[in-house]
Amino acid sequence: MTEKDKELYDKLPEHIKLRLDYKAEEYYSKYEFKDNIVKCKCGGGKTKDRCEFELKGKKIGQKCDKYICKKCMTIIDDKKYCRIHANIINQQKKG
Ligand SMILES: [Zn+2]
Ligand SMILES: [Zn+2]
């Protein structure tokens, strides 16, 4: 992300930022993208791993696809999830 991109991103309203997070592919395609290795949004490691959460509603059939480094990843039942979706799954499991 260049300095100017960062400035623009910071000015976006929270709900738009959140949507950008969910459309990880579009968001990251603007930035670093080399050999399918992308820098995780936490600023940490580069990663090829993506969240495997299956979206519901309008986006049914699609996956979250957010890039997640080892630090941000949670593995549940052998699938990798970003933090937001890991929370959702854990809540669903609780019942
Ligand atoms: Zn991360
Ligand atoms: Zn996710």
Contact indicator for 65, 24 with CB cutoff of 8 Å = yes
> Is the pLDDT confidence value at 29 over 60?
no
Range scoring the smallest mean pLDDT among 4-18, 44-58, 67-81 = 4-18
Average pLDDT over every residue of 71-92: 93
pLDDT of residue 36: 61
Taking the CA of 88 as reference, the closest ligand is: 2
* Residue 24 pLDDT class (50, 70, 90 cuts): low
**Cα–ligand 2 centroid distance for 23 (angstroms):** 10
Q: Look up the pTM and report it.
A: 0.60
* Residue 53 pLDDT class (50, 70, 90 cuts): very high
pLDDT of residue 14: 62
- For the chain, the structural domain boundaries read 3-94
**Cα–ligand 2 centroid distance for 81 (angstroms):** 5
Contact indicator for 67, 26 with CB cutoff of 8 Å = no
